[in-house]
Amino acid sequence: MRTPDADFLALPLDAIADAGLSTARSLGASHADVRVHRLINQSIRLRDGRVQSVNDSVTTGFAVRVIVDGTWGFAASPRMSAEAAHDVARQACEVARTLSPLNRDPVTLADEPIYADVSWVSPYDIDPFTVDTADKIELLRDYSSRLLDTPDVDHATAGISQVKEQTFYADLAGSRITQQRVRLHPDITAITVAGGSFESMRTLAPPAGRGWEYLTTGWDWDGELAQIPSWLAEKVAAPTVVAGPTDLVIDPTNLWLTIHESIGHATEYDRAIGYEAAYAGTSFATPDKLGTMRYGSECMTVTADRNEPHGLASVGYDDDGVASQKWDLVRDGRFVGYQLDRAFAPRLGVARSNGCSYADSPLHVPIQRMANVSLQPDPERDTTTAELISRVEDGLYIVGDRSWSIDMQRYNFQFTGQRFFRIRNGELAGQVRDVAYQATTTDFWGSMEAVGGPSTWRLGGAFNCGKAQPGQVAAVSHGCPSVLVRGVNVLNAREEAGA
């Protein structure tokens, strides 16, 4: 079993925790937690095989969060010492007491077992921060050259973002938790310029909670890079789509983003009761609909999972000290669950948090954040994508994500993609272009006739899910199979733009 890095464990973790917690207790805190947080980042970007940028950063600090008189208080510092922890704990308690007269909703935390001296490390083989930067650049240059050496590609960009996140959590109840996770986001894009316009196409490899092995053996880089130039040339020459109601087979590389926007955000409980209203909106999936609303067809079961292997939101424990879990959000088409942290669970009348608390830096307060939210495959039969396509007489097969738009209630949406293949009489019949699909959330998922089997299930995701004021970002994954959706409104994006 891998353990957290020795240089992180060598920080004065226990001394900071002891000082911060003892001070908070002496000042009347009913709850206090200390979180030491270190983020190690590296970003490399190439254009046409030439290095554009290499950025390295390390952020280290700690935060103390308290509840005094039923009110949250929070303070943080980059000074890693017991003396600083005493000062920060005092500041956090002062913040809580100052805000207490304004608080009309006293904080109650859901109970959670104590986890004393436990640790968790995400699964990966090669720590990317042990690989020489020159070797990373050489690999990205090689991938770029494979595209540039073809006549159909005029330019190529290549990049990799890498993060190692380390945390130590301790609270007054007695939990002490150390964690470390690694994630990567590769992106190789081919660009062609023709007839005064340009078109691009990128690899479909999603960001993932994996190590450097992902950039060598964790994806079919050889196969995809060999095919992208011909796919791109075909797309440039493809006819424009005919708008109207259309049957769609949607690949997991596209559908994950629809899940993120129309299910993941919609089932965040804090959003549903108005906590994001001033910034990112609310949700149509309000608490009065829980257990009764038909979210989609009966083949729709969606789970939230903080344990998904290689998931970007996978952890052993959240930033409330809650052990990670898996639970249903939609079961057989019915809306049955929310994502919760320890403060919001009691407000919903739920005895335990499902572990959705996270802060993206030591200087930010933990907030409720999204788990890995995934559509489940057909449990009875391993239906293939080709079988789903065979059930369509006249439609489209959509691959890869691109732009999206969704309203503030996560209800009306529009999505595009990277590649759109015509389906004629159950077979693929070349690409079309300028495709966007549009629907309301419940109409779209209600029109889902079939889901693919386990062999079609893939994990997608993003590094940059935004939320809150001040703004925070979180990485999250979404798994799904291929699906068949009937009669979705398809737009011609070029005609809609007046081009």
**pLDDT at 137 (0 to 100):** 98
**Which pLDDT score is estimated for 496?**
87
Q: How far apart, in whole angstroms, are the C-alpha atoms of residue 286 and residue 439?
A: 19
Residue 207 φ/ψ, nearest 5 degrees: -65, 150
**Which segments in the chain show pLDDT lower than 50?**
none
Q: Are residues 392 and 298 in the same domain?
A: yes
Evaluate whether residue 351 is within a structural domain.
yes
Last residue of a domain, one of 213, 237, 261: 237
371, 334 contact by CB (below 8 A) = no
Strand partners, 193: 198
For residues 64 and 319, what is the distance between their CA atoms, to the nearest angstrom? 12
Which of 237, 262, 293 is the C-terminal boundary of a domain? 237
**CA nearest neighbour of 382 among 453, 298, 479, 447:** 453
Looking at residue 197, what is its pLDDT? Answer: 76
> Does 349 share its domain with 203?
no
Three-state DSSP at 483 gives: strand
463, 473 Cβ separation under 8 angstroms:
yes
Is 351 in the same domain as 481? yes
- Indicate whether this model's pTM tops 0.75: yes
In this structure, are residues 180 and 166 in contact, taking their beta carbons and an 8 Å threshold?
A: yes
The number of distinct structural domains making up the chain is 2
pLDDT of residue 194: 79
Tell whether 46 and 180 lie within a shared domain: yes
| CATH number of domain containing 81 | 3.30.2290.10
> Domain range holding 214?
6-237
Residue 498 confidence (pLDDT): 81
Q: What are 428-478's pLDDT values in tens digits? A: 999 999 999 999 999 999 999 999 999 999 999 999 999 999 999 999 999
Q: How confident is the model at residue 477, as a pLDDT? A: 98
Distance CA 158, CA 232 (A): 17
Render pLDDT for 478-492 as a digit per residue (tens, 0 to 9). 999 999 999 999 999
Tokens 């890995």 sit on residue: 372
- Mark which of 237, 268, 283 sits at the end of a domain: 237
Question: Do the Cβ atoms of 379 and 234 come closer than 8 Å?
Answer: no
What is the rounded distance in angstroms from the CA atom of residue 71 to the CA atom of residue 98? 9
Number of neighbouring beta carbons within 10 Å of residue 293 = 16
Check whether residue 226 and residue 263 sit in a common domain: no
For residue 198, the model assigns a pLDDT of 87
